[in-house]
Structure 1
């Protein structure tokens, strides 16, 4: 199988998705361009943020169209930010459908599967789902307050709102994640996501989803990975 991924960010997402693909689909190897794909490969493209990521969709569809049958899956991975999951999904889908009208994809690549993977509200929201990282009794005053506001070890991180003083949900979720990991002696930055890219972290998120049905948007990534490797664990 050959796969093309368009991820929203320029720093965290490329590192995370590359690590997770290496863990879950180890047979795939990364190449630079669609034209370089042979068998069992993938291309990972950064959209350089939102909404500029939408400008990359047309170019990727053109590359896929120019190489008929070479790509089986196109994944578009974008945060929902302040939108609902449904609103952001619909927005991305409209962008994709508009660009498809400018191609002959129905004839050249009729079996292409396009998956829209919404990180609700951001990829750090998913990372907060590792319920083994939040201490039962946090030491920092900040983390105590965050946990009192929304305990991500027991309550769904995707349902967490914005803590007073933070402009956006995403900025608060990022601050919460940094504080949670720091108490476990791990540092998280966009440039160096650290422990979250490890296979054990991914498996903890997968287990949380299976056990609690939290992280509903993460399930779509799990489904995509399972479809790409139906015999995998």
Structure 2
């Protein structure tokens, strides 16, 4: 079983690497695509959009076709200001315009709705008992992510959803005396992932795109048994 992951940026590279170690420990990461052998995964950081779709997706498919040992191609990227369906159509439009045939490639799209920080807002363990200080108080009054699905939260008065969701997360970490630059260092911990999994197990309508990622990992885990 071999998997080729194409992820959007630095955060995803660091977090997915850690989470895969917990979720599918049978897989070993390789540094270059041609090193693929048995029960490996290769993870490529595309350094953002639109390059992940326009440039690196065709390159990833070319690598998979050349080395012929990969069973799955998984692309992980933010929805940003569009719907999940729109982002998926962007991807398939790219494949069509490049005359790319996905024969013998099992292709999975994981859209982080709205962004990776949105998923991180699902950890109830970082919520204060009561938000008493602005701007977190204002954010909670606008939309309480401890009660409602973070993926359908609006953007308040920010320019984009991602900007608001990131700042919401930053303010929650600040209440917990954690610096924003250390957020990724917290998210990569197994207990953080466990909190997110517990959230979607207890509230099955929450974080549906995060559930897509977990379901994919569970499916791979089953095939490795």
What is the TM-score of this pair, normalised by structure 1?
Answer: 0.90
Contact 2:173 2:183 in 1 (8 A): no
- Superimposed CA distance per residue, residues 189-216 of structure 1 (whole angstroms, 9 cap, x where no aligned partner): 3x86121111111111111112112001
Alignment correspondent of 1:34:
33
Alignment correspondent of 2:48:
49
Alignment correspondent of 2:148:
155
Q: Pick the aligned partner of 1:196 from 174, 183, 187.
A: 187
For residue 158 of structure 1, report the CA deviation from its aligned partner.
0.5
Alignment correspondent of 2:14:
15
CA distance in structure 2 between the partners assigned to 1:96 and 1:127 by the alignment: 30
Which runs of 5 or more structure 1 residues have no equivalent in the other structure? Answer: none
CA distance in structure 1 between the partners assigned to 2:214 and 2:193 by the alignment: 10
The answer to whether residue 140 in structure 2 is matched with residue 141 in structure 1 is no
Which protein is richer in helix relative to its size?
2
CA distance in structure 1 between the partners assigned to 2:80 and 2:202 by the alignment: 26
Alignment correspondent of 2:216:
224
For residue 86 of structure 1, report the CA deviation from its aligned partner.
1.5
The answer to whether residue 5 in structure 2 is matched with residue 5 in structure 1 is yes
Aligned residues: 222
Greater alpha carbon shift after TM alignment, 53-62 vs 179-188? 179-188
Q: Pick the aligned partner of 2:177 from 176, 182, 185.
A: 185
What is the TM-score of this pair, normalised by structure 2?
Answer: 0.93
Which runs of 5 or more structure 2 residues have no equivalent in the other structure? Answer: none
Contact 1:162 1:169 in 2 (8 A): yes
Which 4+ runs in 1 deviate beyond 3 A?
96-99
What's the Cα RMSD here?
A: 1.7
For residue 93 of structure 1, report the CA deviation from its aligned partner.
2.7
- Superimposed CA distance per residue, residues 112-131 of structure 1 (whole angstroms, 9 cap, x where no aligned partner): 21100000000000000012
CA distance in structure 1 between the partners assigned to 2:65 and 2:31 by the alignment: 17
CA distance in structure 1 between the partners assigned to 2:87 and 2:73 by the alignment: 18
- Superimposed CA distance per residue, residues 166-208 of structure 1 (whole angstroms, 9 cap, x where no aligned partner): 111100100000111121122233x861211111111111111
DSSP-derived class of the 2:125 partner: coil
